[in-house]
Structure 1
Amino acid sequence: MTSYLKTSILLAGLTALFAGMGYLLGGQGGMMIAFLMALGMNVFAYWNSGNMVLSMYGAQEVDAYTAPDYYGIVQQLAQRAGLPMPRVYVIQSDQPNAFATGRNPENAAVAATTGLLNMLSAEEVAGVMAHELAHVKNRDTLIMTITATVAGAISMLANFGMFFGGSHGSNEEGRGGSPLGWVGALLVAIVAPMAAMVVQMAISRTREYEADRIGAEICGQPLWLASALERIHQGVAHYRDPQAEAHPATAHLFIVNPLHGGGMDNLFSTHPNVENRVAALQQMAGYGGYGGGYHQPPASPWGAPPRGPWN
């Protein structure tokens, strides 16, 4: 099964889960309403989710005049990848991290936090931005932003079910109220969000390894990205991002899980384990894997770290 087919099945499962929650809360009528809501949200997310996520994090657009080094790195990488120039954003956050969004390569955007731009070398920033452009090239950004929208809606519906679902009993036709009463409400409130989280994380983890591989090819040096992942992972452990903590459904968009306590490579992790990702990149570079003697990335033409108004 290809990764794209697997992702499509998982995304369909997430939409079906939302419709199933509607059935547990309101019978057949509730299921139909939830299904129509899911379709509506997918259409809305297709056109607007990218800008919504950028707005959610207070991202500020920059250009060749306001952030020449950072913008220039993205510009060179986009040319190497054969992609249109994306919009480039900066997020005010001490936590080093980055993400890409947009419904297609022609309407894509990449965003990096001030923490990332201040902490990483130019080579490491190039590795990170190449990873994000790989998501754009693979058209992962649309899938991932729609996933965030539907997962957020499932959480909202779960909260509704916790307070109101159990108070409505089923009727004879099964069309009004929860067919399972308080049991259905409990399933909606507890089990459904957990199932949504598992599906969401499976989608993210399916795409991250591929973006690492293609990102390494775009920048030409797998070790730049490997080094960046290690430094970002360490930075995330020291700096919390209040916006990410307030919107956990968007965690899978970032190159490294921005939520504290989410670094384990298990069923409930939004990302593959950083050590596993670094090992894969080191193998690409011809080294023996994680722990086999780390090598500094080779020098690049970019020189000093990116500078801009955030410094």
Structure 2
Amino acid sequence: MVGHNGLKLRMMVAGSILFGFYAAIAGLVLYMFGTGTSVLAVLLLGSVGFVGFQYKFGKWMALRSVGAEDMPEHAEGRYNYGEIHRSTEKLCQEMDLDKPRLMVADMGVPNAFAVGRKGAGVVVVSREIIDLLDHDELEGVIAHELSHINNRDVVIMVLGQSIASMVGIIVQWGYILGGERNIGSYIVGMILGTVAQMVVMIFVMAISRYREYVADEDAATYTRNPDAMARALEKISSGAQGKEMRGEDTVNALCIFGTSGSLLQKIFSTHPPTEKRIERLRSQSVGY
């Protein structure tokens, strides 16, 4: 397995910051409802249950939103799915990773994403990306998605999104319940909750962008073909222009390709600029 101290350090820092937000939430709840044993038990079980539910539901919803279906291990029409399975098996051996469940979907754009953890991962590729890419380029995309599972960075994304949601909910209702409970307090509470959630998500998005660089690097390393990964990103970016992606709101953060335009969009973007990703891959090609 390729070591990524930078990613591990960032995940550790992000995890510490997220734990700080969680501790603040817990403190607020205890302040509002007391510090009895029953309150602590409900707080602990509720938070663990909330994260677990979001993880399971998020995985199910991501697959459902794009209409993902199990990828057959044999050729079907113009799609040589067997070749994709063999490439995945070869890459998993290289990574010392259990082969994930492979699924295929009509997303409307060329894209791919991974959900789940080691031993229970799922990689979804769109039929559009299979049509668009050459075999070595598609192999790079699959290696990129396997890297996300291998590096366990999906977990920190789920944890971060869960805590961001909890922060938003607690701030919103903490303000509403602590005020006069009129229409004005509801509106202000909603605004404060949204802002609080956005603040937490800034940290989560920063990790999300960095993990894309790491997955690109892994894909280049395990396929020994950085140029193919760079060409894949160029084609995907071009092929997605002017098209609407199915289930975009649900799976955008998980996909290999995302969009960003304005400064605000870049701050909350789940992906770094495609041009920078390609530039880094081209520089990595020098060693091959």
**Which residue identity does 1:191 align to in structure 2?**
V
CA distance in 1, matches of 2:244, 2:167: 25
2:7 partner amino acid: S
Note the C-alpha offset of 1:15. Answer: 5.3
SS in 1 for 2:114: strand
Question: Does the 8 Å contact 2:108/2:246 carry over to 1?
Answer: no
CA drift of 1:71 comes to 2.1
Structure 2 letter corresponding to 1:71: H
**Alpha-carbon distance change, 22 to 116 in structure 1, aligned in 2, over 3 angstroms:** farther
> Which residue of the partner structure matches residue 136 of structure 1?
149
Query: What's the counterpart of residue 276 of structure 2?
Result: 276
Alignment of 1:75-114 (within 5 A): 75-104=89-118, 106-114=119-127
The alpha-carbon distance between structure 1 residues 261 and 84, as it changes in their structure 2 partners (threshold 3 A), is: same
Deviates more, 1:229-238 or 1:80-89: 229-238
Q: Is contact 1:117–1:125 with CA below 8 Å preserved after alignment?
A: yes
Aligned to 1:286, what secondary structure does the other structure show? helix
The question of whether the paired residues in 1 share the 8 Å contact of 2:105 and 2:125 is answered with: yes
- The residue number in structure 2 matching 1:293 is none
How far apart are residue 182 of structure 1 and its match?
Answer: 6.7
Secondary structure at the counterpart of residue 281 of structure 1: helix
Counterpart check, 1:199 vs 2:207 = no
Q: Name the CA distance, whole Å, in 1 between partners of 2:238 and 2:264.
A: 14
Give the % identical residues. 28
Tell me the SS of whatever aligns to 2:240.
Answer: helix
Q: Give 1:229's aligned residue.
A: 233
Deviation at residue 243 of structure 1 after TM alignment: 1.2
Aligned residue for 1:76, secondary structure, equals helix
What are the within-5 Å matches in structure 2 for residues 1-311 of structure 1? 2-14=6-18, 16-17=20-21, 20=24, 28-29=32-33, 37-45=46-54, 49-65=58-74, 67-104=81-118, 106-151=119-164, 157=169, 161=172, 167-169=176-178, 185=189, 188-245=192-249, 247=250, 250-257=251-258, 261=261, 266-286=266-286
Q: Aligned-pair RMSD on alpha carbons?
A: 3.8
TM norm structure 2: 0.77
Q: 1: distance between equivalents of 2:101 and 2:262? A: 29
User: TM (normalized to structure 1)?
Assistant: 0.72
Unaligned runs of 5+ in 1: 172-176, 288-297, 299-311
Cα separation, 1, equivalents of 2:21 and 2:239: 35
Q: Which has the larger share of helix?
A: 2
User: Which deviations, in whole Å up to 9, do the C-alpha atoms of 1:92-129 show, x marking residues without a partner?
Assistant: 1121111112122x211111112211211211111111
